[in-house]
Structure 1
Amino acid sequence: MLIEFHLTPVLPLKDIPRFVTFSEPAQTNLERHVSLAFEDAGYHRRYTVREEPLGTVRPIRIITIGAGASGINILKTLDQELTNFDCVVYEKNSRVGGTWFENRYPGCQCDIPSHNYQFSYQPNYAWSSFFSPAREIEEYLCSICEDASMKERIRLEHEVLGAFWNEDTASWRVQIRSLRTGVEFEDHCDFLLNASGILNNWQWPDIPGLHDFAGSLLHSAKWDETFEWAGKRVAVIGNGSSGVQIVPAMQESVRELVHFIREPTWMVPPQLQSLSLSKASDILSQIQMDEKGRFLPEQIQRFKLDPDFYLSFIKAVEEQVNNNFSIVLKDTTNHRNARELVTHYMKSSLGDNEELIKLLVPDFPLGCRRMTPDIGYLASLTKDNVRVVSDKIVVINETGLVTSSGETIAVDAIVCATGFNVSFRPRFPLVGRKGNLQDIWTETHPSAYMSCAVPDFPNYFVFLGPNAPIGHGSVFTIVELISKYVTDIIKKCQTQQIRAISPSRAAVDEFAEHIATFMPRTAWAGPCASWFKAGTRDGPVTALHPGSRIHFFHMLEHFRGEDWEYVYSTKTNRFSYLGNGVSLKELDGSDTTWYLRA
């Protein structure tokens, strides 16, 4: 009797025959030894069908880093989209909320309209004003986490120290420290989601002698809420979005405010003023607010009771927010017209003070730095107790600041509105197949696949990574979209026997090439120091998506499987997930004729 083995090739070894015939004696031993020999050569035994229905979901564990808007939302999305999983969120702070927990400086508020700065599944009809203060946004995020199942999965005051990919187990080993007890421990997961954010890792300015100052030293993202500034001489360093909110909030009650700026920034008219001149004007004329943009009680009640009106309101505002992209396309009529209008607005708001105009109205393209709505900032700079200084601070001593002109400016307090580390480098070692991402993104410019995945870092996803559309309106909407996109990929891995997935290097390189070629069309690439370019004047734009919000949403509508590399759970056949010929759709009690629609 002859026994024939049918061998399935995994490696294209031309010198090994695909059919080998042996004679009867020692059948069992021959089969075992031949099987082992051919497995060593890249061949396996005959493929067998998995006795599971199509759609079977393998169990997985997910770790998320950070409980800001992204980390909170992903818990909701996972619950809605996945089954047979468990997850945990590690958050370094004592409360959830991320940016809106950490930023408590005077005047801190969102510059996106409140009802568009929320999750679609959790509308808040009772926002107090058109632009919400930071504390109110933090409370909104906390309210989402009141659900017991969410609370028990968020581990507060836990800092991630490092994450290390294990190819053999296709899993991440994550090192964590409890900030309450100091105890360090390890956790493991199949998928690692980084929701730690970009505007999160605050930093002191690099000024010699900063910590020699004997007065009050504060940072906008680490605010001392016991600090009293009334009647004091205060220096505010920085005119980014935090600085332009702090200055008018302090100006009225300080003895003197010295505002240090590195270079000018574009201040655009208040958004309510701009929206009132747009297509949203009709519905805005029906909104009942006071002179400070606070909603009247009867307006809040109407939002609650009239869903059609409410939807019309938020859609009209969102449409105008989405339309802003055309302004940053330089060398266009829209850009030129917008720049002319904003320049006129700034000069008028500065009282036509030629000295201030020279210091504050930029000569770089509109939008090169983040355009910031003016909420009394420009007017505050014209007051008698405010001085604007553009000279470089060369050193700080016990009593104040010394400028490049040699002047010493004595103050009682220094407020550093100097921003964050925006390099996109992880705050901890993140070691994938080919090294530590900290080192990789130090040696080369940060680049990712559609902002959320990195080559050679399998089963790792980042929220608002390099070239996400974070300068394009509400981050909440963007986070929802990315969460759904990432969750769909995880579900694919769960149900299709994929143990590891990562974008190909070629796909990411070509995406980066498109970004680099496109960006010179925009004001973002202009000659100005901006966090869009990691704080440099002429570096590549690493923070923004090469297109509009709608362009980004459209791009992520469909998963491009051809851009990804897969490692399957079985080496014999990628279609083993098809199973025993039966679908879970006919076993789980759901509608088996879902494909028939009216």
Structure 2
Amino acid sequence: MIAANEMQTDWSAPSQKSIDDDRPIKVICIGAGISGMLTAIRFPQKIKNLDLVIYDKSDDIGGTWHENRYPGVACDIPAHSYQFTFANNLNWSSFYAAGPEIHRYLKNVARRYDVERYVKLRHLFLGARWQAADGKWEVEIEDLESGRKFTDRADILIRATGILNRWEWPDIPGLRDFKGTLLHSADRKSWETPLDPKGKRIAVIGGGSSGIQIVPQLQPTAARIDHYMKGKTWVSPVGYGSDKSNRGVTDNYKYSEDELRTYRENPEEYIRYRREIERIMNAKPEILFKGTEEQKAFFALNDESMKQKLSKKPHIYESLRPDFSPFCRRLTPGPGFLEALVEDNVEFIGCGIDTVVENGIKANDGKVREVDVIICATGYDTSMENEPPIIGLDGKTLADMWNPDPQAYLSICVPKMPNFFIFFGPNGGAGSGSAIPFLESVTLYLVKLVQKIQREYIKSMVVTEKATSDFVKHVDEYFSKTVFTETCKSWFKRNKQNGRVTALWPGASIHTQKALENPRYEDFTYEYLDALGSNTMAWLGNGTTVAQVSGEDTTEYLVDNDVPPPIVEGVHEWDN
């Protein structure tokens, strides 16, 4: 018997080989966060003769959960939902997991699946160009350790960098004149030496997720906290997935040792609990649509919660309370944030900043507040602009294709970009439900595309402009009915008050699973490798399978159980 991996195959003659003796294929993936990890797990499992390399600029895997180290960093999706469907963690310590705990989980999964064998860390992606002559991507990389720049080549290029990877300092006059400690929430180097807030006067600028998480962490021991937050936002009291008192509702519930022991000793009970959370997250999302009774009730619930929690300082409620609906901006549970704002050592400044001076901040009210530390919790550049150049057909860059608005077919493919696929592309974020099952669906979809390219000797697979524009029309029609298109500054709309929703999928996470289940190959155009000659069906091979040639089992299609089961159990035509 010849082992399948020892077969000597002439892949330049597809008609002379077994149909499933797939040609070698090279895949380059940029980014080793959750999407890159999924690529490293599923691609080798399902794609034969695969050469996979994943480049990441950081010194460890984990993406945003490696990069973000600020005090209080956490996920605002329940921990038991924010994990791979195939790798349950029964030991999450709290309802909303802290960033370091999530990173440890990702590292454990990476070790279990040997992810790091495919990853080259401290390698910066500089750009890529499609070589139409031989159907390859030329990818420019810089080794950040040695400074060496080099070119790698691949049949497939995947961008898995996400949207939370390029932070920027706020454009505030005088920021660099500050003589105290200046930090940015997203700058990992800022937090290599942990900040001791005890006795310090601290200014926190920004009211997104990071600012809302930082303030309650520092408030108990800081001498004073000034929170500069000009925009309005909803801080929701509601967590997903529990009818038990306090769980993810009024605080970040901590699991007891008895609960954790129950989950470890009774996996069925754990799965029941996880499904309970998922069902609530996957509920039909009437709450997201304009004018529904569910949205009105949720508006009232959030309004009353904020009013009660800020009753000691009602001026903060008046400054924070939006006119737009919950979910127009990303909704943040923010355990402990509103409670921190009403403490005596916290001042909320909602009038905006005029300038930063050497010893503090001058606000638009004319008052200079002296501080020892300024933390800019101002987030990331989510415009999808200023990316390293990716050059496809006819010299078109990805920036060209995304001007004036980023658009992609099913969030994954872009016209003029052959054999190029994206995680978290335009409209590639989960509108409701968990992001990770969403990304798992994208991964399996990409596996099918790559398998087709590989087996059918496809040189170039590129989505049509018609299919892309039709998808975009559907996206815009869907979101026109939702609260996402109300007037509010949101990264869903590239940090604009109004405009197209470019960050979210038009539906729930489970909707994505159905949408990507069966690729519409008719939405692509193809160019084939010369090895096929004039017959594009030559990939069918010589009529054999690898199992026949190698002497391996040829009966894997025989299974004991019918799926789905027979309509009437226990009745067989061969009964005597």
**Cα deviation per residue 1:228-266 (whole Å; 9 max; x = unaligned)?**
222111111111111111111111111111111121111
TM-score by length of 1: 0.86
Provide the C-alpha distance between the structure 2 equivalents of 1:395 and 1:590, rounded to a whole number of angstroms: 74
Check 1:573–1:338 CA distance in 2 against 1; reply closer, same or farther (3 A cut): same
Q: Name the SS of the counterpart of 2:39 in structure 1.
A: helix
Distance apart, 1:593 and its partner CA: 6.8
Give the 5 Å matches for 1:269-418: 269-271=237-239, 275-276=241-242, 281=243, 293-323=253-283, 325-351=285-311, 353-418=313-378
Check 1:347–1:104 CA distance in 2 against 1; reply closer, same or farther (3 A cut): same
Q: Where in structure 2 are there 5+ consecutive unaligned residues?
A: 1-12, 563-576
- The one of 230, 255, 260 aligned to 2:198: 230
Partner of 1:508: 468
Give the 5 Å matches for 1:30-109: 50-109=15-74
Give the 5 Å matches for 1:353-502: 353-425=313-385, 427-435=387-395, 437-440=397-400, 443-502=403-462
- The one of 140, 150, 153 aligned to 1:188: 153
Provide the C-alpha distance between the structure 1 equivalents of 2:144 and 2:386, rounded to a whole number of angstroms: 19
Q: In the alignment, is residue 132 of structure 1 matched against residue 132 of structure 2?
A: no
Q: Name the SS of the counterpart of 1:146 in structure 2.
A: helix
Q: Name the SS of the counterpart of 1:115 in structure 2.
A: coil
Provide the C-alpha distance between the structure 1 equivalents of 2:474 and 2:359, rounded to a whole number of angstroms: 50
Provide the C-alpha distance between the structure 2 equivalents of 1:389 and 1:286, rounded to a whole number of angstroms: 30
Provide the C-alpha distance between the structure 1 equivalents of 2:134 and 2:271, rounded to a whole number of angstroms: 48
Provide the C-alpha distance between the structure 2 equivalents of 1:291 and 1:218, rounded to a whole number of angstroms: 27
Provide the C-alpha distance between the structure 1 equivalents of 2:509 and 2:403, rounded to a whole number of angstroms: 30
Check 1:408–1:336 CA distance in 2 against 1; reply closer, same or farther (3 A cut): same
- The one of 219, 222, 234 aligned to 1:254: 222
Q: In the alignment, is residue 115 of structure 1 matched against residue 115 of structure 2?
A: no
Provide the C-alpha distance between the structure 2 equivalents of 1:123 and 1:243, rounded to a whole number of angstroms: 30
Provide the C-alpha distance between the structure 1 equivalents of 2:145 and 2:439, rounded to a whole number of angstroms: 30
Q: Name the SS of the counterpart of 1:267 in structure 2.
A: coil
- Residues 41, 113 of structure 2: 8 Å contact kept: no
Partner of 1:582: 544
Distance apart, 1:105 and its partner CA: 0.9
**Cα deviation per residue 1:51-72 (whole Å; 9 max; x = unaligned)?**
2222231101111111111111
Provide the C-alpha distance between the structure 2 equivalents of 1:132 and 1:311, rounded to a whole number of angstroms: 18
Distance apart, 1:537 and its partner CA: 0.3
Distance apart, 1:319 and its partner CA: 0.8
Q: Where in structure 1 are there 5+ consecutive unaligned residues?
A: 1-47
Provide the C-alpha distance between the structure 2 equivalents of 1:371 and 1:265, rounded to a whole number of angstroms: 8
TM-score by length of 2: 0.89
Provide the C-alpha distance between the structure 1 equivalents of 2:154 and 2:328, rounded to a whole number of angstroms: 40
- Residues 54, 578 of structure 1: 8 Å contact kept: yes
| Matched length | 543
Q: In the alignment, is residue 573 of structure 1 matched against residue 540 of structure 2?
A: no
- Residues 325, 483 of structure 2: 8 Å contact kept: yes
**Cα deviation per residue 1:375-411 (whole Å; 9 max; x = unaligned)?**
0111111111111112222322222222333332222
Partner of 1:40: none
Give the greater-gyration-radius structure (CA): 1
Q: Name the SS of the counterpart of 2:418 in structure 1.
A: coil
Provide the C-alpha distance between the structure 2 equivalents of 1:442 and 1:395, rounded to a whole number of angstroms: 34
Provide the C-alpha distance between the structure 2 equivalents of 1:397 and 1:88, rounded to a whole number of angstroms: 47
Percentage identity across paired residues of the two chains: 36
- Residues 430, 509 of structure 2: 8 Å contact kept: no
Provide the C-alpha distance between the structure 2 equivalents of 1:488 and 1:168, rounded to a whole number of angstroms: 24
Q: In the alignment, is residue 155 of structure 1 matched against residue 115 of structure 2?
A: no
Provide the C-alpha distance between the structure 1 equivalents of 2:303 and 2:94, rounded to a whole number of angstroms: 28
Partner of 1:215: 180
Distance apart, 1:293 and its partner CA: 2.1
Partner of 1:26: none
